[in-house]
Each structure stands twice: as C-alpha cells, then as structure tokens.
C-alpha cells in the first residue's frame, strides 16, 4: 500500500513547527501504524536525514507511551481498537492522505515532532494519586474483604494507561478523565478511604495548576480512551470533590 | 577469581530469618547520609526506590521512558505467584520453592529461591494495601488461578493486566516519595556507563535524552534494575526500548555476566508477517487447552488454505510425539517442535514461520459461544493484528523470545562482584535458574525491591561510613569523556544503514543460531559472523542529527552497538554449556525422545563471564551450585 | 518539576473550591438549573396565550402586582444569569489557553453538535434575551406596545395579548424568535443532561436517560415557545388587532 503522509515536524519545544509531506511506499497491509513510520524512518536515516521522532515502547497497547493524533483523532481510535501501536494499516485506503500530529495541549509541551512531555500526569499523581503505605506495614491481604463489584469497578478505573489521549481529544484539553480514573480507583477501595478527601482535593488542585482545561462533558475522552475508562468516573469525582471541599470549608480536617 | 555467594549458614528454611536477625542495620539518622542511585523504574526499580526512600535514604532514580509508569513490567499479563495457600490445596513456601527450583531445571541457587518463596506472601499483603485491584470472589476475598508448572492455584491476578497494576502500585509509592522530596526522578534519561572509584561502583554516566546532555551522578551505591536482554534477538515480546546497555556497560567495567544463554521462548505468539515487523505479541498459553496444534504433512500443502488440507494430510505433531501431554506439552518442548516442523519446510504463513492452532474441534464440541466466552479477547486481538478470523480459520502461532533468566551475577545480598553495584529483578541472574515459571517474574521483581534489598544493602553500606565519594574525583570526568567520545564516534560514521537495519540482521542471526535450539556448528558460525557485523556497524551506521538534541536514531545506535558485543557473550556461553537445560537446548544433548539432556556432573554451576577487553574472549568463572535440600531430578513430561 | 504545587498566598477553602475547575463548573450548573426552571415557568405563563386575552392579561397583571417583589425576582434572575455567563467565560478563557497551538486537522468521535455549539448557542441566546427584553418588557423596539391597554373585569390593564399578536405578526420578528429558541433548545439539549454530570448526580446507567430526558425537555420547550409565533402567523388572535 502507498500513503501520502503529512507529519508535524518541530525541532524543539520552542521552535516553530509545520506539516511536512512524506510518501510511505510499499507498506504491507499487515504493518502497524508505528511500523509504517519505522519504514519511513529507516529510509530517512539511510539517506542521512533526521527521522520523525515519535514516542512508543511496548507496542502492545499497555505502556501508554505511543501518542499520535491521526487524521484528527488521538490514536486513530475511530478506526482502531486502542492505542496508536494497535492500529493497523489495513484500516486505511490505499493512496490515502494521513495527517499525523502530536497530542496537543499546553500542559503537554512538544519535545520534538510527535513526541510530547506528559510529566504533568506524574505531578498530578504526586499530589495524591497513591495510598500512603510503608513497605512491610501491610496487614494480611485477606483481612479486609472487598466486594467483588467494588474491586471490579476499581479495576475499571485502574486500567487507565496514562497515555493522555483524553487530553488530546478534549476540545478543552481537560485531564478530568485521567484524574478521575485515579481518584476513583483509590477512593473506591477501603484501603484508599482514609485519604480520600485529601486525595481528590490535592489532585484536582494540581490538575488546575498544570493548566489543563475544564470538562464540558463532550465525552470525546471516553470515545478515544484505549483502556475504555468511562466518563462516569468524572461525575463521581465531581461529587467527591464537592463533598471534600464542603467538608474542608466547614472546617473538617483530614 | 572465586565467587562468594555469601549464602548464610544453617538450614534452608532458617537462612533468611537468620540473615535478617544478624543483618547490619543503619540508624535512621545515618540513612540520610547515603545517596543511592537506582537505574530503572520497573517493578524492581520502583519498589526499591520507594522502599529505600521511605526508610530515609536519598534516592536518585533513572528511567529512559517519559514516566516511571511505563517500564515494561507493565506488559506482564498472567499474574503473580505467592505461597498464601488461600485455596487450601496444599501450597506452602516449600512447595513454591521446589516448583521454582524444578522449573528452573536445577540451575538456580536454593537459598535465593527459598527466600523468594518466603517473601512472596508479604508481596500480596503489600500490594493489596497499596490498592492493587486483584481479582476477588463474591465473598470479597482474593481469587487465585492455576498456572503452568504448578499443581496448586497460587497465582493472584488483576484481569489480564497484573503487571500493569503491580507496576502502578510501585509507581504510585515512588511518586509519593518524589513528592516528599526523598527521590529525585530522572525520566527520559539513559545510563550509558558505570563509574568506578577505587574498584567500587560510585556513580553513573547518563545522557539526558531530551537535551543530549551527558552528566555524571555520584552515590554510595548503584542499583541496576534495568530488565532483561531479550531484544538481542530484535524480535521479542519486550518493549522496543528494552536494552542491555546498563548491564553490559557494568560488565565492561568488570561485573560478571552470568548464564546469558538462559533465554525463555514462549510458544504461543502471533507469527512474524514480514521484515517490517517490529515486535511480537504474546497470546495467553491457555489457548492450548482448547486448540490443536498442527502443520501440513507435506511441504506442497503449506501454501493452501487450511480448509483445503484434508484431515489425513495434517500432522498434529504434539499429539503424535507426546501422546500423554499432547497439546499441553511444556513451553520449551512445544516451542522446539514448532521450529522443527518449520525447519522441515512445513511451516505456514508468511516466510513459512508458523504452525496452526486449530479450534475447529472445540467449536464443534462446545459451540462457538463457549469458545468466545473463554478466549474472546484473544481472538479479537488476533484478528486486529492479523486481520484473520480465528473462529473460521485456524490461528497461526510461532514461538518468540520473552524473558531472559541470565543477567549480572549477584551474591545473596544482590550485590555483584563489583562492590556497591547491586542488581535487581530480571537484570540479575539469581532466582530462575535455566527456566522461569509463569507468574514468577513479577514475584521476583517485587521481592527484590520491597523485601530483599532493604535488608541486604546494609551489608555494603555499613562498610562505607566516612567514605563519601567526591563527585570531583577524576574517575567521573574520565568516564564521562569516554562516554562522550563514544557518542561522538556513532555520529561521525555518517554511513548509510540505520541502527534498526543492523539490529534486524543481528536478531535474525542470533535467533537462528542461538534461539530455540543451538548447536556447536551454528554457535561457532555466529561467533564468526557477529564481529564482522560489528565491524560493518562501525563503518556504515547512519546517525543523522546531533548529540545535543532529542535524537532517537542515536539512542537506537548506542543500544544496538551494545547488543552486537553482548551477542558474542551470549553465544560464547551457549557454546560453553555443553548440555541442555531449561531454556538452553543444545541439539547435541538430547535423549532419544528429544528431551533436554542435563549434565549435572559437569555443568551444575553458574557460568559467570568476565570481560577481558575488546576482541578478546571473556573468561569463565564458575560458581558451583550446591543442593543441600533438594535432590536434582530429571524433568519428565511423558 | 517546574510547576509549583501550591500558591504562596493562602486562599480560603471556599474560594479555593469556587475558583477550582470543578467549582466553577458547579456554579454554571447550579445557575443553569435556575435558568431552566425559569424558562419552564416562563413557558407555562406564555401558554396561557392560547386560553384567550383575558387569561394572559390577568396573568401579566398578577406579575406586575408583585411590585417591588418582581424587581427582587428580576434582580435575582439577572444575578444568576451574570454568574452563569461570568463563570462560563472564565472557563472558556482557560479552555482556550489550555491548547495554545491548535490542531491542523481535528475530528470528533462522540461530541454532539449540541455540545460543540454551546458557546455559539449561548451567545446568540444571550443576545436574543436582550432583544426579547427590549421587545416585550421594556417595549422600546416598538414603543407603540406601551400604549396597548384593555379592559379586564372593569380595570384598564396592559394588553399583553395584543402586543404578542402584533409582535409576532411581523415575519422577521417571529423568525428571530424561532431561530433563537432553536438555539436555546440546542443549548439545553447538552446543558440539561450535562448539569447532572457536573453536579455528580449521574452515573453510567443514568447518563443516557438524563441525555434523553434533557433533549426531550429542550425540544418540548422549543415546541411550546414557538407554538405562539407560529400560531399568530397562522392567524390566531387576529381579532385582537381590531
């Protein structure tokens, strides 16, 4: 198969960028989207030209590193099943023009080409996305039974791979789906309850400080989420946040 | 040179307790005087960094990914073993220990494996307390499933994403310590060399992958938690970024590389479909419960649609060769049999590298709905990747590399032969012998980080009071200059072949000669070809761009350069080990039935390789394996 | 790690909540509830048009008789509207700033036409509200409206019925009303269900129901409101012009 690519090239965070055209020739239909980029890059490198920089690692849809907006949709999710690495070229028409851009958000500065800095997510986790527990201090695992439905729901939330497609897809660049996934994962579990108010207040505060936009309930986030995290977690986070804020306003501590 | 494994004296089941009772501990006010460098942020690295920081050490942690949450531990699917005996089915620490030793084909250290089994239960407690959403029963208690190589159900799991959930637990603990200021995290930073000061590991040289800055970091001890070297085969189930550089650089500074030839091949992966392929995807082995493996009897049939190959022209070779185990023959045996069929020209699919896994009989027996319930997600994944519907035509499968048991040699303290250099997780060689059981990798990574190193690091650190290394020591600048020169050398070649291109060629060669089955002639040939490929690499590699920027071509080239050198050590070890055991199968050493033929008399040792200089063969240092408690037996699956 | 995790000056927990992302949205949602309730009440009042001149004129008179209390309600409504708009604008500004460099190509997967046009529909509805107040409340667009009077049970009252008939008999005026009310329906098609999500009152099962109910209410309101100009254009109430 042959494709006409329009790829965002940008040398550094502060450098100007633009779409440049490349021809991807003789691409096997069985190739993944990233393998198609590999082929184009191999050719560029052999010619001594700088390859297209893009993030990727596990190439099986779980690490959350790959991140491209394909024809205006993060991970090309309108044609694929998950992440960019799980999108296969047979889903495209021969001869099609494919526009490839980085995940765009002010909080995800571009490092180079399609590669972005998503450290804002780590800082949000630092603001409360954990259970304070010292190695070795844990009680026996079965001492606290957790209803299966609660454990399953926590797992639905915990499935988030932290790729940032939710931010990239959101017209407002909101990180609410990511943040709510972690808040729900931990706040649902009995182990996470002692810190639940601190957690939601801290994480939302950091989310705002990072400059992400606000949720307008477009639901683009859940539509492109490779881990199928539902936006219903956003509504429960809204509730938890309001309750926590009200408690704090009323003078409650902890 | 002799190796002291520092295994505590006393009966096996008391060794770890005795060790802990007598371990040298460091007072809290002294802990903050020590700076620890941890390279890698997977299960081993993140758990060690979080735990050591909680205890009061100053930790610097490095990872090449953009966030510690992306380390490849995340991709582990199946589960994590622990001797909790929640199923009341006869499990115990001893049984987990024995299964692991036997699964490793009696090539692992008894004391290490027993310790692993002992701490396994604490890992589950720890992870549950962190909020890992393990699968549960309706009563709210933890669920278990069974896994290969064990007769009890001791595997804890979180859907098919156990590795992800365990890693996120460790990552969150790590981020909590970063927030406290106890850990300084360096992501998108690659370790390129180890700094030795007076023979002790006292720092590392890193490259900031965004700015290209090459820097040195000094510390009181260095912990490598950098994973395995499966990507020496180019195609594997590892992440693209997984590399041998950290451990190999340490090897070149004098650390011994132990048992590199022990590599594990997983039998049920989606086959390669062309030269463009960048990675192999694993599918759960559980598929073999309901699928029948076959290849066409005649070469001429290979190109035909499987529906056009009549029953009597099909060779259900596992059922034929291993009538009692059939399609459930162990990993190594089914992998090798698939290779044999393909070597005879009877492989199917692109390149003739695949065999069929056929569900037609099961669908007929149970109905498509049942099969869908059991394996729906796997069939979907298969269809997404191959575009084929496995309900209608048989799946194509082929074995792929997915774990490496070998690694840097470490003693009971997880310290290598270089004082101060500790190695954890897949990067060390210690616990799995010649073959790793399913659901044991996660167990080892977390055991090392949460529960072993926090006790054992004191042994070295207590000897270092008042010996704070000066970051201005000339060794730092010297090592940094060497690293800078090496990076520059890669950039200066300005040839016309990409690093991926060399990597593919190396991978094919190593897979062919040192993959599922090895022999003297093939290994000798590989050892002749690898140096030539290395020479070609250094004369025709193309690395466009500069070293002072984000340059993925440069990152790849540096890693491939190390794989090229490491491949020689791998083949040298495989050639020297004239027996078959676990993941190492030498075709010269097999029983008439085609089973691995171990040679306990001559090879019951750890083969640790010492770097002797470029272009010079490494020397072998042996650590004899002494079995005080178990009696090595032959693995039989007939 | 360049982003500071807390601001230097301490803010009261209430202000921190109010000016947080979720706090601002909550204000927009809560004010939205009041506005929707007002719109529903307004429609019920309007529908008395179909019960004849006396009923609607008497309804209007009762409203006017509230005297100062009417001004309290009006001030309250204005405050709610101002808050709704102020916080929305503040959110818009942040949302705009959150993506300094826009996509060259951007496609939507799930966002509806209603959600994507909230800003436009809101702005036009706001402009319409001003027009509507000038038209029927301040009656400055056609000052003649101020002098329509009628006899209601022996008392001279303002003839709202006649004003509506005259007003909607002008085709372009009715067109403005119908188009603007259509945009209001757009706004509410997303807004009503959205406020349940924002206030944390929804969940996976309820969301589709809220979405259906929200849209149904939005378009019922549209039908109700536009039924009057449509009826007038079709000749209803012509006798009032005599």
Give the contacts of A235 (CB within 8 A, at least 6 positions apart). C196, C197, C198, C200, C201, C202, C203, C207
What is the span of the domain harbouring residue B568?
A: 474-604
| A169-211 confidence digits (pLDDT tens) | 999 999 999 999 999 999 999 999 999 999 999 999 999 999 9
CATH code at B524? 1.20.58.100
Chain B positions touching A127 (Cβ under 8 A) are 179
Say if the Cβ atoms of A45 and B136 lie within 8 Å: no
CATH code at A156? 1.10.1060.10
Chain A positions touching B210 (Cβ under 8 A) are 111, 117
Is the predicted pLDDT of residue C1 greater than 90, yes or no?
A: no
Q: How do strand A69-70 and strand A3-10 relate by DSSP bridges?
A: unpaired
- Select from A29, A62, A186 the Cβ nearest to the Cβ of B75: A62
| B23-74 confidence digits (pLDDT tens) | 999 999 999 999 999 999 999 999 999 999 999 999 999 999 999 999 999 9
Q: What mean pLDDT comes out for the span B285-309?
A: 91
d(CA B220, CA B464): 8
- Give the pLDDT of residue B325: 77
The chains in contact with chain A, meaning 3 or more Cβ pairs closer than 8 Å, are B, C
Residues A106, A34: one domain? yes
B374 is catalytic: no
Overall domain count for chain C? 1
Residues A94, A162: one domain? no
| A131-156 confidence digits (pLDDT tens) | 999 999 999 999 999 999 999 999 99
Nearest CA in chain C to A207: C21
A97 touches chain C (CB under 8 A): no
Contacts across the A-B interface (CB distance below 8 Å): 235
Task: Calculate what percentage of chain B has a pLDDT beyond 70.
Answer: 99
Q: What is the ipTM of this complex?
A: 0.97
Say if the Cβ atoms of A88 and B500 lie within 8 Å: no
Residues A90, A174: one domain? no
Domain boundary among the residues B350, B365, B400 is at: B400
Q: Are B111 and B15 in contact (CB under 8 A)?
A: yes
CA triple B607-B609-B615, angle to 5 deg: 140
A107 touches chain C (CB under 8 A): yes
CA A58 to chain centre: 15
- Select from B141, B172, B241 the Cβ nearest to the Cβ of A145: B141
Say if the Cβ atoms of A41 and B498 lie within 8 Å: yes
Residues A107, A131: one domain? no
Say if the Cβ atoms of B552 and A53 lie within 8 Å: yes
Considering the candidates B69, B109, B314, B331, report the single residue annotated as catalytic. Answer: B331
- Give the pLDDT of residue B637: 58
| Closest Cα in chain B, distance from residue A204 (Å) | 16
Chain C positions touching A217 (Cβ under 8 A) are 115, 190, 193-194, 197-198
What is the span of the domain harbouring residue C95?
A: 19-100+111-241
A235 touches chain C (CB under 8 A): yes
Q: Please indicate, yes or no, if residue A130 is contained in any of the structural domains.
A: yes
| C95-134 confidence digits (pLDDT tens) | 999 999 999 999 999 999 999 999 999 999 999 999 999 9
Sign of CA dihedral C150, C221, C78, A249: positive
| C44-99 confidence digits (pLDDT tens) | 999 999 999 999 999 999 999 999 999 999 999 999 999 999 999 999 999 999 99
Q: Please indicate, yes or no, if residue B460 is contained in any of the structural domains.
A: no
Sheet of B257-258, strands arranged across = B407-408, B257-258, B605-610, B619-624
Q: Please indicate, yes or no, if residue B88 is contained in any of the structural domains.
A: no
Say if the Cβ atoms of B451 and A135 lie within 8 Å: yes
Interface of C with A in 55-94 (CB under 8 A): 91, 94
Say if the Cβ atoms of C95 and A99 lie within 8 Å: no
A254 touches chain B (CB under 8 A): no
| Closest Cα in chain C, distance from residue A125 (Å) | 12
Residues B287, B390: one domain? yes
Query: What DSSP line would sit under A2-50, residue for residue?
Result: -EEEEEEEESSTTS-EEEEEEEE-S--TTSBHHHHHHHHHHHHHHTTPP
Domain boundary among the residues B352, B370, B400 is at: B400
- Give the pLDDT of residue C8: 44
Residues A139, A208: one domain? yes
Domain boundary among the residues A112, A140, A157 is at: A112
Query: What DSSP line would sit under B306-322, residue for residue?
Result: GGGS-GGGEE-HHHHH-
CATH code at C92? 1.20.1300.10
Q: Please indicate, yes or no, if residue A254 is contained in any of the structural domains.
A: no
| Closest Cα in chain A, distance from residue B486 (Å) | 19
The chains in contact with chain B, meaning 3 or more Cβ pairs closer than 8 Å, are A
Overall domain count for chain A? 2
- Select from C25, C107, C193 the Cβ nearest to the Cβ of A214: C25
| Closest Cα in chain A, distance from residue C116 (Å) | 8
Chain C positions touching A127 (Cβ under 8 A) are 5
- Select from B175, B241, B500 the Cβ nearest to the Cβ of A129: B175
What is the span of the domain harbouring residue A223?
A: 119-249
CA B356 to chain centre: 27
- Give the pLDDT of residue A254: 61
Q: Please indicate, yes or no, if residue C6 is contained in any of the structural domains.
A: no
Task: Calculate what percentage of chain C has a pLDDT beyond 90.
Answer: 89
Say if the Cβ atoms of B172 and A125 lie within 8 Å: yes
Residues A190, A144: one domain? yes
Residue B582 three-state SS? coil
């Amino acid at each position: 198969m042959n494709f006409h690519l329009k790829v965002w090239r940008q040398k550094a965070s502060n450098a100007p960028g633009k779409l440049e055209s490349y021809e991807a020739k003789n691409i096997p239909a069985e190739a993944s989207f990233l393998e198609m980029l590999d082929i184009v890059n191999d050719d560029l490198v052999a010619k001594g030209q700088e390859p297209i920089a893009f993030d990727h690692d596990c190439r099986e849809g779980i690490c959350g590193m790959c991140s491209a907006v394909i024809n205006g949709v993060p991970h090309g999710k309108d044609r694929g099943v998950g992440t960019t690495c799980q999108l296969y070229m047979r889903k495209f028409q021969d001869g099609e023009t494919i526009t490839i851009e980085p995940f765009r958000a002010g909080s995800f500065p571009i490092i180079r080409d399609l590669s972005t800095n998503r450290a804002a997510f780590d800082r949000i986790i630092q603001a409360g996305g954990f259970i304070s527990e010292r190695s070795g201090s844990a009680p026996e695992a079965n001492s606290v039974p957790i209803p299966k439905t609660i454990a399953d729901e926590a797992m639905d939330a915990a499935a988030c791979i932290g790729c940032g497609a939710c931010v990239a897809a959101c017209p407002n660049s909101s990180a609410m789906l990511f943040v709510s996934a972690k808040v729900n994962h931990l706040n649902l579990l009995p182990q996470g309850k002692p810190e639940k108010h601190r957690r939601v207040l801290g994480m939302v505060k950091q989310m705002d400080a990072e400059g992400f936009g606000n949720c307008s309930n477009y639901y683009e986030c859940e539509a492109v989420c490779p881990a199928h995290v539902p936006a219903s977690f956003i509504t429960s986070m809204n509730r938890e946040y309001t309750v926590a804020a009200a408690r704090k306003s009323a003078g409650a501590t902890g | 040179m002799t190796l002291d494994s520092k295994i505590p004296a006393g009966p096996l089941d008391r060794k770890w307790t005795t060790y802990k009772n007598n371990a040298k501990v460091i007072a809290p006010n002294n802990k903050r005087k020590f700076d620890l460098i941890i390279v890698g942020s997977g299960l081993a690295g993140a758990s060690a960094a979080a735990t050591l920081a909680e205890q009061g050490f100053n930790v610097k942690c490095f990872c090449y990914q953009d966030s510690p949450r992306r380390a490849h531990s995340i991709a582990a699917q199946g589960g994590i073993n622990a001797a909790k005996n929640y199923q009341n089915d006869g499990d115990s620490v001893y049984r987990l220990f024995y299964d692991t030793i036997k699964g490793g084909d009696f090539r692992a250290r008894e004391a290490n494996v027993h310790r692993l089994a002992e701490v396994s239960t604490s890992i589950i407690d720890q992870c549950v307390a962190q909020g890992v959403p393990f699968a549960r029963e309706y009563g709210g208690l933890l669920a278990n499933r069974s896994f290969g190589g064990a007769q009890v159900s001791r595997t804890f799991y979180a859907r098919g994403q156990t590795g992800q959930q365990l890693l996120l637990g460790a990552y969150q603990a790590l981020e909590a310590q970063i927030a406290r200021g106890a850990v300084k995290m360096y992501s998108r930073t690659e370790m390129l060399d180890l700094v030795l000061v007076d023979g002790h590991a006292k720092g590392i040289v890193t490259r900031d992958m965004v700015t290209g800055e090459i820097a040195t970091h000094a510390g009181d001890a260095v912990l490598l938690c950098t994973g395995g070297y499966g990507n020496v085969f180019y195609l594997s189930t590892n992440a693209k970024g997984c590399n041998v550089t950290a451990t190999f650089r340490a090897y070149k500074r004098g650390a011994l590389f132990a048992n590199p030839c022990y590599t594990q091949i997983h039998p049920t992966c989606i086959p390669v479909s062309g030269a463009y392929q960048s990675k192999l995807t694993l599918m759960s082995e559980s598929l073999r419960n309901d699928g029948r493996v076959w290849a066409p009897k005649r070469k001429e049939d290979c190109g035909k649609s499987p529906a056009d190959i009549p029953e009597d022209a099909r060779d259900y070779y596992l059922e034929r060769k291993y009538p009692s185990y059939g399609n459930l023959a162990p990993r190594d045996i089914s992998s090798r049999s698939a290779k044999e069929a393909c070597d005879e020209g009877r492989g199917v699919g692109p390149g003739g590298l695949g065999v069929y896994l056929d569900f037609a009989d099961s669908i007929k027996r149970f109905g498509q709905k049942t099969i869908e319930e059991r394996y729906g997600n796997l069939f979907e994944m298969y269809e997404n990747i191959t575009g084929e519907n496995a309900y209608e035509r048989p799946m194509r499968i082929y074995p792929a590399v997915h774990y490496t048991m070998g690694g840097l040699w470490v003693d009971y303290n997880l310290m290598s032969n270089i004082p101060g250099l500790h190695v954890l997780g897949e990067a060390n060689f210690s616990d799995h012998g010649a073959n790793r059981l399913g659901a044991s990798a996660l167990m080892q990574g977390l055991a090392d980080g949460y529960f072993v190193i926090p006790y054992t690091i004191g042994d070295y650190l207590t000897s270092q009071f008042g010996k704070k290394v000066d970051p201005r020591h000339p060794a730092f600048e010297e090592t940094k200059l060497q690293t800078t020169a090496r990076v520059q050398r890669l950039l200066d070649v300005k040839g016309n072949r990409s690093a991926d291109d060399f990597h593919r060629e190396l991978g094919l060669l190593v897979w062919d000669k040192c993959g599922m089955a090895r022999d003297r002639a093939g290994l000798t040939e590989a050892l002749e070809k690898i140096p030539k490929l290395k020479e070609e690499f250094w004369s025709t590699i193309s690395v466009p761009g500069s070293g002072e920027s984000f340059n993925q071509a440069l990152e790849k080239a540096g890693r491939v350069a190390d794989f090229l050198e490491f491949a020689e050590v791998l083949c040298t070890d495989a050639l020297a080990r004239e027996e078959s055991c676990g993941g190492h199968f030498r075709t010269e050493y097999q029983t008439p039935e085609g089973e691995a033929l171990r040679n306990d008399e001559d090879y019951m040792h750890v083969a640790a390789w010492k770097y002797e200089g470029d272009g010079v063969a490494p020397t072998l240092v042996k650590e004899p394996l002494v079995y005080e408690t178990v009696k090595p037996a032959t693995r039989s699956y007939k | 790690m360049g982003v500071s995790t807390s601001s230097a000056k301490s803010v009261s927990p209430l202000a921190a909540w109010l000016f947080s992302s979720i706090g601002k949205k909550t204000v927009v949602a809560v004010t939205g509830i009041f506005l929707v309730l007002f719109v529903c009440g307004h429609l019920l009042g309007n529908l008395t048009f179909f019960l004849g001149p006396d009923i609607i004129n008497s309804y209007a008179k009762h409203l006017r008789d509230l005297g100062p209390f009417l001004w309290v309600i009006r001030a309250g409504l204005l405050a709610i509207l101002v808050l709704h708009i102020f916080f929305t604008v503040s959110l818009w500004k942040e949302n705009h700033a959150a993506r300094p460099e826009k996509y060259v190509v951007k496609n939507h997967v799930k966002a509806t036409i209603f959600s994507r046009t909230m800003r436009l529909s809101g702005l036009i509805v706001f402009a319409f509200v001003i027009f509507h107040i000038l038209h029927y409340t301040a009656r400055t667009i056609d000052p003649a409206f101020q002098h329509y009077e009628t006899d209601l049970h022996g008392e001279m009252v303002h003839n709202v019925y006649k004003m509506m008939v005259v007003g909607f008999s002008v085709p372009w005026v009715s067109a403005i009303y119908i188009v603007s009310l259509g945009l209001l329906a757009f706004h509410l098609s997303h807004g009503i269900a959205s406020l349940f999500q924002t206030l944390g009152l929804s969940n996976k099962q309820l969301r589709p129901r809220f979405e259906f109910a929200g849209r149904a209410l939005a378009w019922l309101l549209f039908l109700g409101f536009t039924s009057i100009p449509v009826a007038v254009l079709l000749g209803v109430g012509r006798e009032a012009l005599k």
